[in-house]
Structures are given as structure tokens and as C-alpha cells.
Structure 1
Amino acid sequence: MLQRRVTLSILCLVMHSGWAFLAEAANAPRKEAGELSISLSDAVFIALRNNTSIRSAYIDRVAQQFDLRVAEDVFTPHVSINAQALRQRTAGTPKDSLSAAPEVTALTPLGTTFDFTWNGELTKSPGQRTRTSVGQFSFNQPLLKGAGIDVNMAPVRTARLTEQNNILNLQATVSQTIANVAIAYRSVMQAGKALGLAEEAEKRAATLLDNNKAMVAAGRMARLDLVQNEADLANQRLAILQAQQQVRTAELALLTLLNLNLQMRIHLKERLEAPAPNFSVDKLLSIAFARRQDYLIQSNTVEMSRLGVVVAENQRLWDLSLFGSATTGVDNGTKVQDRSIGLRLSGPLNDLHPEQTAVHASTGLKSAELQLEVIHQGIEQQVRTTIAAVQLGWRQLDVARKAKDLALSAVDIEKQKLAAGKSTVFQVQSLEMNYRNAQTQTLTAEISYLNSLTSLDLALGTTCDTWKIKVTGN
């Protein structure tokens, strides 16, 4: 929400795009190591294609979607058929028979079950031929236990809520991956800029040493004073080596997230841009409760628990059912016409298991509601804490920038005094050290502030919205 927006869309695990550069970056590097020049948006796109966590999540989606399909298929009429062809010989007499028995069963949201069966058989033996064709239709309508739309639709509604939670979990995985990539990208940026600062400091130390050597040659400075310059130059060269190691470590972490060749080197095209914070705490809290994946998942869990209570309470009732059947056809030449209808009542007299199930369902609902309250409180605390971190980070960045400018001015003034013989090498080196520290603090403040914006997006559940990424269940 607070970072630079790009337009991306996750429509499936393997996303197709016309961006030839990104396709090359995602696939070619495994064949040949080289240098990869990417922006932050490029890194996010590659991660969405290659990251193993996201790919694993989409693999799981195949089974999850099929589970929903099975649950929603419960009210679809199901057809089955049994058929047999038989040739046998009994006491030297051959006999051939052919039979078929298709069956259609259906369940309605009211709990009504319908069943239609047709039995057809043709038997042929020497001098005899018989034929049977009988159809039977039956129904069963629960009036207490198992009756009603709420009870019979509960499994379907639960499956749909589970599917919503699966998509929310996928969205959370994508959001966390994006945040990890952004932070890793900035770590590479921070290490690279720290290396640049170390190289600049080494150049300044070398220039100061050359100038002081000239002053020694002119008799304006003692040769012993050069020892401090030489030691400072050696320290700066050591700092460069340490910074190079930090750069490589950060690159490997980013390449691992992008699932690319670890032998590659990374060149960043992004520039540090830190926009000032401008938001309302109350508005962000309302956004968090509307978008946070864990809060929405728990809300769905509460609803599923309510459905479980409905089913459990219904299962405590006795089974009172209206049933009936009708049979018509011809059985071995005899016409068949049968009708029946009746009521059936059955129920336990001293079985505590149905009540036990209802008690567990009720306590499960209360626990789910309590957990929702805990998550609600945790989200509010996390959002307020993250907002405070963003606001404080912005103030720290502003102070660090001013301190860096003042430190640079102090170095320039002290160098002028040294050239006029009114200062010492030690004083200049001390101010140079202060300036390097100010540069490092400014860089750290910039990266920390940008990372706090990323953390705020995660706290609000708006990471995918910020990056214009649409996470679908397909």
C-alpha cells in the first residue's frame, strides 16, 4: 500500500508473460552463470514464478479444489450399472443369460433420498425363453434427524469455507514471499551501498595520505604523522573486504529465494525511495480486519464451528422418516404392480454419544470464537506497533540525513584548517570516521524504514493489493 506499485497477476503456477527479459532471467541463469540486472519488481515477478514455497502451494491446490468438487457433487444424481452375461451347462443342458441393473440415486438439500432401479434379465435354454423387466422407485424423507436444508447443506458450506481458507493461506504464502524478497533485495542494496561507502572512504583516506606526504615533503608535517594515515588506509581496505563478503552473502540469500543459479552475481536497478508516511491509524485498523488472512481464516473457522453445532444438535433427534416405494414390470411373464408407503421411527434410549458430539461441537464453537478475539487483539497491537515503527523510522531517517550533511560539512571545514596548519591529522580522521558512521546510519535508517513499510503491509494483509497481484484459486 505504501510502496511503489507494479501490475502483476498470479493466475496459475506457471505464469505466461511477454516480458522476454524476465523469462530469460528465470530460466536461462541455470544454464550459465553471469550477472543478473533486476529491479525489485523484477525480483518479485521471478519469485512468483520460481519460489518453491509458492510452487508447492499451487501443487496442493489441485487436491484442495478436487475436495471441493467432491463436496459439491453430493446433490448430483449418481448413476451406476451392473451387467452380466453368463453361459453355463447343467446336466448337459446349455443355458445362456444376459442381465443388466442400472441404478440412479439422488439426495436433495431437504434430506430426501430417491432411488430408481431397473432389473432386466433374458434367459435362453433349449425350448425355453424367459424375460424379466422390473423397475422400482423408492424414496425416504427424514422428518427429524437428517431433515432440513441447514443440516444437509452444512457439509457443502463447510467445504466452501475450507476452500476460502485454502485461498487465503495461498495469499498469505504469496504475501510472505513478496515481503521476504523485498527485504532480501534491500539487504543486497544495503550491502552494495555499504561497499560503495567503504570504497569512497578508502579513496578519501588515500587522497589524504597523498596530501600529507606532500606536506611532509614540504616540511609542514612530521613524517611520524603519516603512520595514522597509513593505518586508516589499511583499515578502510579491510572494511572493503568485509563489505564484499556481506554483498555476496546477501546475494546468495536473494538468489535462493528466487530459486536461481547461486553462481550468479546481481546488479540492482532500483534506487532508494522513501516516501513520507501519510495514513490514519483507525483507517488502517479497519483495513487490517477486512484484509488480514489469519483473521478471515479464523472468522471462517467460527462459521464452520457453527455449522458443526447445527449438525450435532440435529443428530441428537430421533429418526422419524416417511418412506415409500413403487414397483412395476414383468417378472417371467407375470405382471408386477406393487405400492407401499409408511413411517419409520427409531432412536436410542440411553446412548450418550450423540450428546457427547453436541457438547464437543458447542465447546469447539466457543473456543473458535475466543481464538478470534485473541487474533483481533493481536492484530490491533501489531498494527499499532508497526505504525509506530514506521513513524519513528521516518523521524530517524530525517535526523540521520541531517546528521550526515553536518558531518560532511565538518570534514570539509577541518580539511581547510589542516591545509592552513590549524588542525591535525588525528582531528581530520576523527571527523572522517564520524562522517562514515553518519553515512552508515543514514543507509541503515533508509533500509529499516522501507522494511517497516513492508512489515506494515504484512500487518494489514495488503501486500498483494500493494503489488497489484491477484491470487486466484486456480
Structure 2
Amino acid sequence: MFTNPHKPFAIHYSRLANLLLALLVVIVFLVLSRAALPATKPQPKPITLAEAVALALRHNRTIESAYISRVLEKFDLEVVRDEFRPDLILSASTAWTRQQGNEALNTQVGAGLSLKVPTGGQLALDFTQTIIEPWEIPEEGFSSDVVLSFKQPLLRGGGVDVNMASQRLAERQEQANILNLKQTFINIITQVVHAYRRFLLVQRGVEINRLSLIRSKELLEVNKALIAAGRMAQVEIIQAEADLANQELSFHENENALDKARLSLLKLLDIDKHTVIAPVDKIVVKPVTLNLETLQQQALSNRPDYLQVLLARENAQTRLLLAENDQLWELDIVTRYNITGTSDAWMEAQERAGHLGEGDYSVGFALRIPIGDIQRQRGVVAARVKLRHAGIDVHELKENLEIEMLDAVRDISIKWEQVKLAQRARGLSKRQLDIELEKLKVNRSTNFRIVTFQNSLIRAKIDYLNALTDLDVLLGATLERWGVNIEYSFFPE
């Protein structure tokens, strides 16, 4: 009898295929079953207001961009500070020359040291070494030159005030840059605080609306039972059904507003938009004592925008000084001392150049008088106009600041009164809530008033806290309030 030698292998392959097919069916079933299950929402991450502020300061791109700009700003300041530091220049050259039929190779090396002094004077020391190698004569010539010169303006461009003006302008610009960075921090912190409290307010509103929706459903069931018992007319259930529909609509609207508030906060924090967070701060308010005169003085000392207009006025005064100096004649005193040593031997040339008493010197004056140049006169007129504008800006901002401070104090006082009224209403709301619930059971009231009682106090507290936050902005005290210390010389990589 003939036996197929491949049959055991065929049977084994068939069993393996059936096993794989069954495994595939199980996998597909598990995947479909998992997909059919309702998606579970991720647990929200609790976040406090202080944590939100800290996250914004670490991740916010506006702050990062401001720090990047500080790299160039600090370098610009160093460039100006370098004005009165010595400069060293090294030089070297070589040339093939032909003069009157004589050809030679001239090589020259040198060094120059210059220094500007605060009076406007320019001190220079130059050393030059020259080697001449004739083409036809096997002899070299050496020359050493040392030149010391000093030039001091006596009128235009002279004086410590004029020559230190550029550094003073640069220092004030650095102060303005720091104030800009401070204002950036204040703006971001204030935006985060308002966004967080808005998120908290909407979240509390959603929770209140959820409880109110439950009450409306309970009311509807009570009314249905009363109708079934013959104790209520059929038409009277319309009020409960309308109330339930309104509460469902309000609940969905508040859920949408909650997600918008969450995304607005996440945008300021610059973190993943899919992050689910939940504000957990308690809404705590307490009265504050405000002295208008003290607050105004504090604002004048701390407000970045006011300090910037003061700097702008000082800059305008400095630029007027420069424009008036630019009107003067150019009268300079010029001195020069020159020592030259030449020889066929290099060492001898150096020795001759080292004899200080054998040098040449000169002392003189240089005068230059511009006539008919009205462009300089225009510079003075423009500087005076800008100075007057700067003075007006300071006066106007100071008056506006005083008005804003008066309005802020009044607003805080009013909002605190609203909080007290809301607290008084909230003190009665427990009993009122019980009364309302009893009325609901007999259909003598709607659910709307209960929601209103619970929302009013929360909103009043949030408004009061926001008013205090805005007052910190007016005072320039936001950073101190949140304990933020800015690294002004920090450079991001």
C-alpha cells in the first residue's frame, strides 16, 4: 500500500491555520468589544491659582520671547560701555615697489593703541616698523616710528556731560528694557489670574446648574405623581417641563463655556490643549483698608509706564544738551610727538627710535566754523519740542493715574458692599432654599430663583477679587503680590 510522505505535514499545517484563524477572531472580538465600551474621560488634574501662575511664567512664549530680546539689549549696552576702553589695532603689509628704476620689497608691521577719555579727548599711540629690501643691492634698511598724539575738543564735542551722554542714554534704555520686561510679566500674571477665576466661576456655575437640573427632574416627577393622584391639573405640568428644558439648555451652554474657559487658560499656560485641569482654589474674600494718598505715591514709584515716561523726559533733556552743543564751533587743541629711527641695522634703528629727547613735537589749535548750516538749528528746535512733549506726557499720565486710582478705590469699595449684600443674601439662602424646595413640591415656585441665589455670591466674590488684582496692576505691585523675582540678566539657550 502506498503512503504519502507529505500527509503528516499537511495535517499539521491545517491545524496551525485553524488555530491562527481562531486567534484572529478572538482579537477582532476583543477590539470591537473595547470600541463598543463608552470612552472614559480622563481624571482632571487639580490646579491652584499659584500653580497656574508658576506654569505660565515657565512656559509662556511671550515671556520666552522677551528674554530672548534681552540678549541683544544687554549686548547693546556693552557696546556703548566700550566707548572709553582702549582699542588695540595690529597691522601688517608688504609691497613690491619701483621708483626711479630701483626695485625693492617693502614690509611694514605696526600696532596702534587708542583711548577716548570722558572729556572727549582722543589719545593715540602708534608704532610702525618698516623693512626695505632692495632688489639689486644686498643691503636692508630699517625704520622705526613711534607717534604719540592727543586731540581735545574745547567747544563742540568737548566736556564730560556731552561725552557721557551716550552712556547715560544707554543706561536709561536698559532701565526702560527692564521695565518692559516687568510689564510683560505683570500682563501675563494678570491675564492668568483673570482666566483662572473665570474658569473657577464657570465650573461652579456648571455644578450649580447640574444640581438645579436634578431638582427640576425631581419636580417633574413630583408633579406627575400629583397629576396621577388627581391633586394637580394636567396643564400645570407645563411649568415644570419648561423649567427642565431651560435647565438642560443652560447646563449644556455652561459646559461649553467651561471648555472655552479651560482652553483660554491653557493657551496662557502654553501647555497641551488636551490637558484636563480643574481649578481647586477656594473663593475667600476679606476687606482691605485703602489709603488713596498712599496708593498714589506707591503707583508713582512702581508703575512701569510712569517710570518710562520719566526716563523719556530725561532722555529728551540729554538730547537737547547734545543738540545745543552741536551748534558750537569746532575748536580743538592738537598735540603730537614723533620719534623716528633709521639704520641699516635693525637694532640700531630701535635704539635711535628710543631716544625720547630727539623726537619731533608739535602743539596747535584747529578751528572750524560752520556758516549757513540750518540743519543744526533744526536739531535744537526738534529737541526742545520733544522735551516739551515729554513734559506733557509725564503730566498727563500722572493725572490719569490719579483718576484711575480714585476710580479703582471706589470700584473696590462698591464691590465689597456687593459682596456683603451677597453674603447677607447667602446667609438667608439656607432658609430660603428650604422654603423654595417646599414650594417646588407644591409647584408654587420655579427652580430659577434657587440658581440665582447660589450664583450671585460667587460672582460677587470673583468680581471683588478681580478688582483687587486690577488695583495691583495700577500700583505696579503685581510681582510683589505673587512673590515673583525677575532674572533680568538671564539668557535662554
Task: Return the TM-score normalized by structure 1.
Answer: 0.86
Q: Tell me what 1:435 maps to.
A: 450
2:476 alignment partner, one of 461, 466, 471: 461
Does residue 444 (structure 1) correspond to residue 459 (structure 2)? The answer is yes
* C-alpha RMSD of matched pairs (Å): 2.4
**Cα distance in 2, alignment partners of residues 414 and 287 from structure 1:** 49
2:223 equivalent to 1:201: no
Q: What is aligned with 2:199?
A: 188
Task: Determine whether 1:152 maps to 2:168.
Answer: no
In the TM superposition, what is the alpha-carbon distance from 1:95 to its structure 2 partner? Answer: 5.4
Paired residue type of 1:428: S
8 A contact 2:439–2:445 mirrored in 1? no
Q: Is this contact kept in 2: 1:134–1:328, CA < 8 A? A: yes
Which residue of structure 1 lines up, in the alignment, with residue 259 of structure 2? 248
1:296 counterpart = 2:307: yes
Measure the CA separation in 2 of the matches of 1:232 and 1:59. 56
For residue 431 of structure 2, give the secondary structure of its aligned residue in structure 1: helix
* Deviation string, structure 1 residues 181-239 (Cα, Å, up to 9, x no partner): 00011111111011011011112222233334444444433444333223222221221
Q: Note the alpha carbon deviations across 1:47-80, whole angstroms, 9 max, x for none.
A: 1111121111111111111111111110001111
Query: Matched residues in 1 for 2:251 and 2:184: separation?
Result: 37
For the residue of structure 1 that corresponds to 2:140, the secondary structure is strand
Q: Which of these two proteins has the greater Rg computed from alpha carbons?
A: 2
| Preserved CA contact (<8 Å) 2:131 2:141 | yes
SS at match of 2:157: coil
Segment drifting more, 284-293 vs 83-92: 83-92
Name the CA distance, whole Å, in 2 between partners of 1:179 and 1:51: 13
User: How far apart are 1:172 and its partner, in Å?
Assistant: 0.4
CA distance in 1, matches of 2:316, 2:445: 71
Structure 1 residues 94-118: Cα deviation after superposition (integer angstroms, max 9, x where no partner): 9555321211111111111111111
1:134 aligns with 2:156: no
**Counterpart residue number, 2:131:** 122
Q: How do 1:370-385 and structure 2 match up within 5 A? A: 370-385=392-407
Determine which of 59, 69, 91 is the counterpart of 2:68: 59
Gaps of 5+ in 1: 1-32
How many percent of aligned residue pairs carry the same amino acid?
Answer: 30
Which whole-Å CA distance do the structure 2 matches of 1:409 and 1:147 have between them? Answer: 84
> Structure 1 pair 414/241, CA: closer, same or farther in 2 (3 Å)?
closer
CA distance in 2, matches of 1:133, 1:388: 82
Q: Which moved more, 1:94-103 or 1:39-48?
A: 94-103
What pairs up with 1:349-360 in 2 under 5 angstroms?
A: 349-360=371-382
Name the SS of the counterpart of 1:128 in structure 2: coil
The residue number in structure 2 matching 1:38 is 47
Amino acid at match of 1:348: P
1:91, 1:110 → 2: CA distance?
A: 48
Q: Which has the higher contact order (CA 8 A, sep 6+)?
A: 1
Stretch deviating more after TM superposition (65-74 or 87-96): 87-96
Name the aligned partner's letter for residue 449 of structure 2: N
Q: Is the 8 A contact 1:324 1:340 kept in 2?
A: yes
Bigger shift: 380-389 or 410-419? Answer: 410-419
Distance change >3 Å, CA 375–CA 417, structure 1 → 2: closer
**Residue-by-residue CA offset, 1:335-363 (whole Å, 9 max, x unaligned):** 57210001122212332222221121112
Partner of 1:345: 367
Deviates more, 1:201-210 or 1:90-99: 90-99
Question: Cα 1:34–1:320, aligned 2, differ >3 Å: closer, same or farther?
Answer: farther
Q: Distance in 1 between matches of 2:248 and 2:427?
A: 24
Alignment of 1:70-469 (within 5 A): 70-85=79-94, 96-125=105-134, 127-332=138-343, 337-416=359-438, 424-425=442-443, 427-429=444-446, 432-469=447-484
Match of residue 36 from structure 2: none
Return the offset for 1:88: 8.5
* Counterparts in 2 of 1:64 and 1:223: CA distance versus 1, 3 Å: same
SS at match of 1:428: coil
Name the CA shift for 1:184/1:160 in 2 (closer, same or farther; >3 Å). Answer: same
Partners of 2:222 and 2:486 in 1: how far apart? 61
Match of 1:50 in 2: 59
Contact 2:290 2:409 in 1 (8 A): no
- What letter is aligned with 2:63? I
> Which residue number in structure 2 is paired with residue 470 of structure 1?
485
Q: Deviations over 1:370-421 (max 9, x none)?
A: 11001101111111111111111111111122224434523422544676xx
Unaligned runs of at least 5 residues, structure 2: 1-41, 354-358
User: Do the aligned residues in 2 keep the contact of 1:34 with 1:264 (CA within 8 Å)?
Assistant: no
Instruction: State how far apart, in whole Å, the 1-side matches of 2:437 and 2:152 are.
Output: 98
* Paired residue type of 2:376: P
| Distance (Å, rounded) in 2 between the aligned partners of 1:417 and 1:212 | 12
Give 2:380's aligned amino acid: A
Distance 1:239 1:78, change over 3 A: same
TM-score normalised by the chain length of structure 2: 0.83
Q: Secondary structure of 2:65's partner?
A: helix
